[in-house]
A and B are shown apart, each in its own frame.
Chain A
């Protein structure tokens, strides 16, 4: 049973950056494909991208075009922690951010979510 625990809620100013962490237990991060999904208040689910482990030290990232240039997904396999950084924040980025993992592009396991509020 994989368990994902995310970092706590944050408040950010417009133009700042955010970085959410997602710690894995029950498996090793290097065995998992980690995705990030967000949900604006009262809205639906939006996939942001994923980080897939590959042979060797470098993994492969796939970002939704909407977030290209603003998002960076990384992993620290020594601590089994995944990170998602989003820069140049605007009010529309206010959302709950989830990490989620699954084998083929659907998600068996989800983190509890991290609320990020962007406000001046």
Chain B
């Protein structure tokens, strides 16, 4: 299995802050990485696919970068709606598809 490790697990930030979340794969996954946002009690929402492609309708303050084993999700200026949990997911291999453990972005 390809293990996905996110850091930090929790992040405290204020509105307007620039936020960076890291995701590391246990082996190279090229650019086959997606990022999701999940609010409490709701289904995840796709933000980024293919490491850096912004899903339609997602604000441009979200961006993704990286390839191989190291990836980053950046929120350029944190907004009140952005306090949520974020997950990365690799889709290089279906054996199995795997998610990171999540990063909870909290209000500082």
Chain A residues proximal to chain B, CB less than 8 Å: 35, 44-47, 49-50, 62, 64-66, 98, 100, 102, 104-108, 110-113
Contacts and interface: CB of A to CB of B under 8 A. Distances in A.
Contacts of B45: 110
Interface in B69-108: 87, 89, 91, 94-102
Given A100-B44, A104-B49, 12 more contacts: A44-B99, A44-B100, A45-B87, A47-B99, A66-B96, A98-B43, A100-B43, A104-B91, A105-B94, A107-B46, A108-B46, A111-B43
Nearest to A35: B97
Interface string B36-55: 10000001111001000001
Contacts of B95: 65
B43 A45 contact: no
A113 B43 contact: yes
Contacts of A50: 94
B99 to A, nearest CB: 4
6 A-B pairs with least C-beta separation: A105-B91, A110-B43, A106-B34, A64-B96, A47-B97, A45-B99
B60 to A, nearest CB: 19
A98 B38 CA distance: 13
A35 B98 CA distance: 13
B62 interface: no
Contact of B102 (A44, A106, A108): A44
Most A Cβ at <10 Å: residue of B45, B46, B96: B96
Contacts of B89: 45, 106
Contacts of B46: 102, 106-108
A102 B91 CA distance: 11
20 contacts: A44-B102, A45-B36, A45-B87, A47-B96, A49-B96, A98-B43, A98-B44, A102-B46, A104-B91, A105-B91, A106-B34, A106-B46, A106-B89, A107-B34, A107-B44, A107-B46, A108-B55, A110-B43, A110-B44, A111-B43
